[in-house]
Chains A and B, each alone.
Chain A
Amino acid sequence: MAGRNDNSWGHPGIYAGALLLIGVMLGPVVYIIIGGFRTNAQITTDPAGLPDPWETVNYSGVLGGSSFWRQAGNSTIVAVVTTLAVVLLGVMASYVLARYRFRGRGAMYALFAAGLMFPVTVAITPVYILVKTLGIVNTLPGVILPQIAFALPTTIIILVPFLRAIPREIEEAAAIDRCSRLGFFWRIVLPLSVPGLVTTGILAFINSWNSYLLPLFILSDQESFTLPLGVQAFASEYSVDTAKVLAFTSLSMIPALAFFSLFERRIVGGLTGAVKG
Chain B
Amino acid sequence: MADSLVITDHVRDGGGVEPPPPARSRRRGIGWAQRLEILLLSGPAVLIFLGFVVAPVLVAVYLGLYRWKGFGSPTNFVGLDNYVTILQDRAFWDALQHNGMILVLSLVFQGPIAVVLALLLNRKIRGRSVIRVLIFVPYVISEVIVGTAWALLLQTNGAVNDVLRSIGLGGLAQDWLANPKLAIWTLMLILTWKYIGFAVILFLAGMQNIPEELAEAAAVDGASYWQTQWRITLPLLGPTIRIWAFLSIIGSLQLFDLVYIIWGQYVSSTAGTSTMVTYMVNEGRNAGNYGYGNAVAVVLFVVSMTIALLYQRFVLRRDTEGALTGGR
Q: Which residues of A contact B (CB under 8 A)?
A: 1-6, 8-9, 11, 14-15, 17-18, 21-22, 24-26, 28-29, 31-32, 35, 44, 46-48, 89-90, 92-93, 95-103, 105-119, 121-130, 145-146, 148-150, 152-153, 156-158, 160-161, 164, 168, 171-172, 175, 181-182, 185, 206, 209-213, 217, 227-229, 231-232, 235, 242, 245-246, 249, 252-253, 256-257, 260-261, 264-265, 267-268, 271-272, 274-277
Contacts and interface: CB of A to CB of B under 8 A. Distances in A.
A222 to B, nearest CB: 16
Contacts, number: 358
A140 B107 CA distance: 36
Given A99-B14, A212-B144, A122 B300 contact: yes
Interface in B125-166: 125, 127, 129, 131-138, 140-146, 148-150, 152-153, 155, 157-163, 166
A257 B137 contact: yes
A60 B305 CA distance: 48
A126 B57 contact: yes
Contact of B145 (A123, A157, A252, A261): A252
B173 to A, nearest CB: 11
A interface: dominant SS:
helix
Given A110-B324, A210-B142, A164 B11 contact: yes
Contacts of B60: 122-123, 125-126
Contacts of B8: 164
Contacts of A4: 212, 215-216, 219, 225
B63 interface: yes
Interface of B is mostly: helix
B323 A113 contact: yes
Interface residues of B, number: 128
Contact of A277 (B2, B51, B219): B2
Contact of B140 (A96, A246, A260, A265): A260
A118 B125 CA distance: 39
Interface in B29-47: 29-30, 34-35, 37-38, 40-42, 44-46
Interface string B42-56: 101110110111111
Contacts of B168: none
B83 interface: no
Given A89-B44, A256-B142, A264 B136 contact: yes
B82 interface: no
A206 B60 CA distance: 28
Interface string B217-246: 001000011101000010011111001000
Contact of B49 (A112, A229, A264): A112
A168 to B, nearest CB: 6
A253 B141 contact: yes
B75 interface: no
A202 B233 CA distance: 28
A277 B210 contact: yes
A260 B136 contact: yes
Which 3 A-B pairs have CB atoms at the shortest separation, nearest pair first? A210-B142, A109-B327, A101-B14
Nearest to B257: A212
A245 to B, nearest CB: 7
Contacts of B124: 2-3, 6
B205 interface: yes
Which has the most chain B C-beta neighbours within 10 Å: A111, A156, A242?
A111
Nearest to B255: A121
Contact of B149 (A9, A172, A228, A249): A249
Given A95-B41, A121-B256, A113 B5 contact: yes
A268 B201 contact: yes
Given A96-B42, A257-B141, A264-B132, A275 B209 contact: yes
